[in-house]
Amino acid sequence: MNRSRFLEHVGWTGTGIAFTIGAAGSMSPMSAGAKPQSIGFVQISDSHIGFHQPANDDVAATLSETVDRINAMPVQPTFVVHTGDVTHLSKPAQFDDAKQILGRLRAPLVVMPGEHDVIGGTEAYFAAFGKAKGTGGWSSFDSDGVHFISLVNVFNFEKMGLLGTEQLDWLERDLRDRKRDTPIVVFGHVPLYALYPQWGWTTEDGAKALAYLARFDAVTVLNGHIHQVISHTEGTITFHTANATAYPQPAPGTADKPGPLVVPKDRLLKMLGYRSVKLISGETKVDESTLA
């Protein structure tokens, strides 16, 4: 798929809403047994626009700095994925501010909601970023021989970490006819495996999704929500959570509960950032960059 077609299918750009991933299933046929030469994209997460607390008194500035750094990359990523919690309280003004900053990205943006984006319902989020047709917001697309899947595992602020039967059935259909050597990359907000259930850092029915993914040779699952990098492997599935651009959270079990972690300003920038991902012949290479 060339860049302009890719943009047409998945890109949300600052010049207008063009997030038009189609009905269930992929947008373009995979060439049989295709291995990607090299595809690179960037993941950002948890920008919490509208957050005003001591853990970061200017989340717009740290997101803006992140965008500047990505725009300065000599080779632009195929796309930038934002894995949710774009806003802090789902307010229209917060979506507007976020879109203004993210709209400066030179690369197309793929975005999915976090629980902070669906407070009071999903309408404001979908009004801001559009909704994949024919689904509850989940979608998939192919680029350079890699199959990308974007999941929604937040339906309201309370029901975190749930995919639901409709989405799981869609996922099964989406994967059913794919060859096992197709590299798969899955995006979602809340971790799909039981990372730390005591703090709700899990997806209740995530194991069902992972069962559909387990037969593939190379699966990479990228999530946000926990505001820190934790990697984990189960069989052929590798998981990486991401740093936030807004504020850090404590490591699992090191505090009474999860939430914004106040650290000195110079340390804060070392704990915020983005991730570059390169897929080369089915191998996933991740490179963490911080704002320090």
Chain residues that interact with Fe ion, rule: CB under 5 A: 46, 85, 114-115, 225
Closest CB to Fe ion among residues 97, 115: 115
Q: What is the 3-state secondary structure (H, E, C) of 147-198?
A: EEEECCCECCCCCECCCCHHHHHHHHHHHHCCCCCCCEEEECCCCCCCCEHH
Distance of closest approach, residue 146 Cβ to Fe ion, in angstroms: 26
Distance of closest approach, residue 274 Cβ to Fe ion, in angstroms: 15
| Distance separating alpha carbons of residues 195 and 283, to the nearest angstrom | 23
Question: Which residue is closest to Fe ion by CB?
Answer: 85
Distance of closest approach, residue 225 Cβ to Fe ion, in angstroms: 4
Closest CB to Fe ion among residues 225, 275: 225
Closest CB to Fe ion among residues 39, 186: 186
Q: How far is CA 176 from CA 151, 160, 179, 181, 219, in A?
A: 17, 27, 9, 13, 15
Closest CB to Fe ion among residues 26, 66: 66
Distance of closest approach, residue 235 Cβ to Fe ion, in angstroms: 26
Distance of closest approach, residue 154 Cβ to Fe ion, in angstroms: 7
| Distance separating alpha carbons of residues 265 and 268, to the nearest angstrom | 5
Strands, E, within the chain: which ranges? Answer: 39-44, 80-82, 109-111, 139-143, 146-150, 184-187, 219-223, 231-234, 237-241, 273-280, 283-290
Closest CB to Fe ion among residues 126, 199: 199
- The DSSP secondary-structure symbol of 69 reads H
Distance of closest approach, residue 117 Cβ to Fe ion, in angstroms: 9
Classify strands 219-223 and 237-241 as parallel, antiparallel or unpaired.
Answer: parallel
Distance of closest approach, residue 229 Cβ to Fe ion, in angstroms: 14
Closest CB to Fe ion among residues 39, 98: 98
Burial class (CB in 10 A: 0-12, 13-18, 19+), 53: middle
Closest CB to Fe ion among residues 228, 236: 228
In 3D space, the residue among 146, 148, 239 whose CA is nearest the CA of residue 192 turns out to be 239
In 3D space, the residue among 131, 201, 126, 212 whose CA is nearest the CA of residue 171 turns out to be 212
Phi-psi region of 206 (alpha: psi -120 to 50; beta: other; left: phi over 0): alpha
